[in-house]
Structure 1
Amino acid sequence: MPEVKIPIITYTGINQQVEHDDPDATLLDCSISNQIPHIHECGGNGLCTTCRIRVMEGHHNLNPRTVKEQEIARARKWDPSIRLACQSYAKGDVSIQRLVWTSSEINKLQLETLPEGTAEERAIAILFCDIRGFTKMTSENSSFDVAHILNRFYTVLGDPILANNGIIYQYVGDEIIGLFGVSGGMRDKTSKDAVRAALGMQYAIERLNHLELEAFDVKIKLGIGINFGKAYIGHLGHPKHKQFAVVGDPVNTASRIQSYNKIAETSILISDSVLKGMPENTIEIGKKFSSQMAGHEHQTKLYELKGFKEMDIQLELQRSLDYLLRNEEDFANKFYTRVFEKSPEVRTLFKNNMTSQGKLLTHMLGGTVYSMSRPEHLTLGLKLLGESHARYGVLEAHYPIVLSCLLETIKEELGDYYSGQLIIAWEKALTMITTEMKKYA
């Protein structure tokens, strides 16, 4: 009998090849079993498109698109080379490229739901953030230093938008505009996502002032305005150069609310429409204002946002994630050292190199925090993680060890940034995560 050739899956971009000897396993299963980070928010159930790949070679060696894939591909106008890894099975050699590399890129996929050439009215939250004190820094420092710091601004202030299912719409000089609810959703969640993003931006700039801007002798402040309302959204412009655009009075009003911070001497102001969308007794309100905005004949009620009344777990995790994983390799090494000390037999479960395993750990940790803003996918994703860990040989008895080692490593890495509330938030979140995964051990 002729020898059966085992298919080879080639991952372009990381120049890695793996044998795929299980015909009943999808390409996503192949990634997971070989410890290759591959985003799959819905747990590989074909409910999202985050595991999408581009087939570079060997398209004929894959199964035809499933019904789920056909519907998604038709709606999002995919060319034949784009597939869902969770729906694709290889019968021969295939070369693929993962198209979504980080959790922050997932938000951009919302734009695929927007109409081409026309605008569609949707209820969204709009956040305008202005960086105060930037002019002084630009006049007193070299252009190289200014460019470096500006990129840091865009990163640390953009992350809270992306972590809360928002889209960064524009950078206008020293101003950032974020949109929430672009692809739909309940008003209370959309409003809460925007509020959490604003508070996260405030935390981020405080950390940036403390850790990175002291050498520049400058302290940056923010002015943030949030509004909620119906705006027209779509890909608009010249037929050969259409761009994502948002048009409507709620957008202009959000900009004016942001500017009103200067008059009110506040940092974050929200409109009455945002407050009405928030669950009752969720946020702490400071000063209240009433102003007639330009172009309006009516008064607009504004409220100073001080914070959440009770600890918001997502906010606590988000505001510490960047600091926690600033050195991902170091974090992973410390975690696995603790695990192997407490449970030496676990070391035999790790057959691949620990560098790859460490990248997978931090990828999973960061991805789970981001997935909390999309709870409809979180449980399914944890189910797949639990099942895959069971295949590795992880037992129910291992999960308490993993939980304690993660918390100890988090405490060590946070250092001066450590607070009791922050650890409580991580403990609650990790307990939920490990409890859900443990069900499949």
Structure 2
Amino acid sequence: MKYIENAMKLARQSNCQSDTTFFQAIEEVLTSIKPFLKKNPQYFEHNIIDRIIYPNREIRFKIEWLDDNNHIQVNNGYRVQFNNALGPYKGGVRFHPSVTPDILKFLAFEQIFKNAITGLHIGGAKGGADFDPKGKSDQEIMKFCQAFMTAFYNSIGEDIDILGGDIGVGEREVGYLFGQYKTLTNSYDSIITSKPISLGGSKGRSSATGYGLIYFTETLLEDMGETLKGKICTISGSGNVAIHAIEKLYDVGAIPVTCSDSKGTIHDPNGIDLALLKEIKLKKRSSLEAYAEERKAATYVKREDYQSGSYVWEVPCFAAFPCATQNELSGESAQKLIDNDVKIVAEGANMPTTPDGIDLFMKHKILFAPAKAANAGGVAVSVLEMSQNNSLSYMSAEEIDEKLRGIMSKIFKDIKKTCDDYCLDMDLASGANILGFKRVANAMIAQGV
């Protein structure tokens, strides 16, 4: 479609050529919505494509802070407020050395459609800093969070932009960010989610993305007459999403046998020891190599000893859950999963599967649950947190879990209906993109230019 080609050309001309991840995200969405656009020319008339691929605002700021030796350190801070047609911007804050404008534009663009798919009235944004919390003292992390918020607080607000947790930003960091915002504004506004319970956080928020991933997968499999019970599952990552996905897999009777971090992969054929994993990654914050030292039946494969992607995808399984990072599951790894008779791949991370990997899954009729839908549980419970803060009425963990399960089930049903409407034959990735695009585009048209 010429219009799509021109839009991609415009995107490349208007952004840095190094923004490869962002371009990949745009191309994936625009390519998959072609059947929808052909039947709905009004989106061409309103030039929605060109308008939706431009961020509303890209904010870059300097963060100056004192380390424990009273040396002044400097980091880059960013916020990409991409689209607020459906409601105030909403998206996490990431502290990691890999944070760049390219990564944040990709994440913010994905967030627009993920948020729209939930049916909740929130826009899409993402932010962060190239700060590495690893190896920093609690005092240094507090000072950095305070400096980050001081440099940025006048660009957010409960009706403007609501932050959330992400990689490197857990309850501790969220607490420091929120505390500094309160100090600067003398306000207890709900400008950040994933807060500690003592500051108005929601029960079930930390587990929501991982649990939601499994709830979505269960709903999809039930629709196909299948179940996860008794099935071997492989999971990449060992952060918050992966750990809670493993926890919920055990709850539904599945057998999760792998996890990974930046240094290597654990394969425990008897099932991952969840208590040991939490001890190593959440308390000691150590390498997974320590897991194999405790569990002699487990195999630890160093990343440096395995050059072809991640060893996780070598392990035969019924279901695979990439929960680590973007583009971690390549075409080569996808083929290995297919050769080992995988039945379903459900994404817990943001865009973890490369385009050639997705193409292979589609070609071989592997059930594929895209991140925009499958990992939307986190943002869904974040909005529930905002609602609780505004009403000063808080739900129990059981109530939150029931609502989360209902939201993930509805997301699947809405996407499946979209697939049926456009004859997509369970192409859930295209269905999710069309559903999210339609909701955002209609809101843009309704608001005029």
Question: Do Structure 1 and Structure 2 share a fold, with TM-score over 0.5?
Answer: no
Larger Rg: 1
Q: Please, what TM-score do these two structures have when normalized by structure 1?
A: 0.28
* Larger strand percent: 1
